[in-house]
Structure 1
């Protein structure tokens, strides 16, 4: 007896072809987005003469001279204070945002207030004002308060700038926390800080991780306020990077090396938390 193999129905074949086409499109889009980063890294490994050739020389010898110059091996500016300032401002502001956004999102989701949608819209509307519109008042206030060139001023600004979007995101994540668990914790005598730390935070962990990563990236990449409000003591990494573009010319390999080093913390954080980021953002999208 010969076995008879049934051909898959046309709908299933079309679905497979559509899935393959979408997968190929996703790979192509990913390659398009990754190519500039790879090009920047490759250019940073070339000498200035090879990096400035047109068309670029892909087979040029690789060297670490641009990285040595960036880290001050040839007597240039020391980048470590700027990197430490960026790391300090980004980490502390992100921690403050989480500490403030978690109870606020709890109040708007698990224990909703009246007209909570209006409250969320008000939070988000604060992000609609152009940043440059508030630059002069903030500068005058910082000058009168003696806070210019102070990293704590940046921490306060970054916290206030990221708090609305953090509350908006975490409200959606915390809506999935079962109310029965919170009621059981309250029956056992747990107070609000214990409930937030031991009940809400573990369940909403992916959403909290996604929110923290986005706030960290926003703080690390911020340039306008850091450029205007800082000088030498509180200078951040993006401001330090702009110092490589001088009237003497654009040293492409050195700029690419500096951009690679300054982008590395964000890339490492995103790669380390990519599963939590995708899970958290997908959860928010479903909600």
Structure 2
């Protein structure tokens, strides 16, 4: 029987949730506000910023100075490409760990996760030299490969968790009916894990879209995504707060819209298997 919640407790929890949510979202909100201010107004006190005039001049300046569309499509290609490649590799890997476990499965999973704890700068020089020798600098293929490797441990971990919640008897029944390994993964396992795969896909797109370190180090112009687009507004002459905020807003707007419309699927996937 569900425990009753008093109106007072419900009100306190609601206020606390809205307060925490506002504090988390406030930096993004402030960036959006600054993007509609002039450079002179953007460096004033918060109250003066809110009381100053609103303008689209910063967006106009950004559009004149930079090719937003090219950076945007580079981000789309890199994010979707690395996500697709990661799923192609991770689904069979997670299947084998979930349904054909060995004595070292947990150790292998922990080793993969431990690679995320290593500072990225620790492998920058050898990776940069490899990219230089194979002519992968400032290319979509190079960035797709790097971001796939960077996010692959998380993708495998998430898919492994979702696959473990699927009864093995279903796969055994498919084998009895004559399903091959490929058909078992494609036609039985994958449809049953759609919520988990969808949330993993969305999370990987967000991680790839927001990746800054590797995109700044391995690109210059041709394959430069929106992170490079934002960084171009930090110069030796100083920070242009209004223009930087406008560029940041234009960069995060697509991923905010994606997250807003897919939030139900994302929450459903992240809680997949949490309740028996």
TM-score, length-scaled by structure 1: 0.88
Compared CA separation, residues 229 and 187, structure 1 to 2 (3 A): same
Matched, 1:188 2:177: yes
Matched, 1:170 2:170: no
Counterpart-to-counterpart distance in 1, 2:273 and 2:175: 27
Q: Which residue of 2 aligns with 1:66?
A: 58
Q: Which residue of 1 aligns with 2:15?
A: 24
Counterpart-to-counterpart distance in 1, 2:99 and 2:123: 34
Compared CA separation, residues 246 and 28, structure 1 to 2 (3 A): same
1:190-227 CA-to-partner distances (Å, cap 9, x unmatched) read 22222222222222112111211221111111112221
Q: Which residue of 2 aligns with 1:39?
A: 30
Counterpart-to-counterpart distance in 2, 1:175 and 1:16: 39
Select between 214-223 and 150-159 the one with higher mean Cα deviation. 214-223
Matched, 1:136 2:125: yes
Counterpart-to-counterpart distance in 2, 1:12 and 1:172: 32
Deviation (angstroms), 1:104? 0.8
Equivalent residues in 2 for 1:215-234 (5 A)?
215-234=204-223
Counterpart-to-counterpart distance in 1, 2:218 and 2:274: 36
Q: Which residue of 1 aligns with 2:267?
A: 278
Q: Secondary structure at the match of 1:148?
A: coil
Counterpart-to-counterpart distance in 2, 1:210 and 1:234: 27
1:163-189 CA-to-partner distances (Å, cap 9, x unmatched) read 111111111101111223222222232
Q: Which residue of 2 aligns with 1:146?
A: 135
Select between 187-196 and 211-220 the one with higher mean Cα deviation. 187-196
Deviation (angstroms), 1:161? 0.9
Structure 1 consecutive aligned stretches of length 4 or more whose deviation exceeds 6 Å: none
Deviation (angstroms), 1:57? 2.6
Q: Which residue of 1 aligns with 2:95?
A: 106
Instruction: Show structure 2 runs of 5+ residues with no match.
Output: none
Q: Secondary structure at the match of 2:272?
A: helix
Of the two, which has the highest radius of gyration? 1
Compared CA separation, residues 102 and 27, structure 1 to 2 (3 A): same
Counterpart-to-counterpart distance in 2, 1:61 and 1:192: 64
Q: Which residue of 2 aligns with 1:251?
A: 240
1:114-135 CA-to-partner distances (Å, cap 9, x unmatched) read 3311121121122121111000
Matched, 1:203 2:195: no
Instruction: Show structure 1 runs of 5+ residues with no match.
Output: 1-10
Counterpart-to-counterpart distance in 1, 2:260 and 2:134: 40
Cα root mean square deviation, aligned: 2.0
Counterpart-to-counterpart distance in 2, 1:16 and 1:115: 50
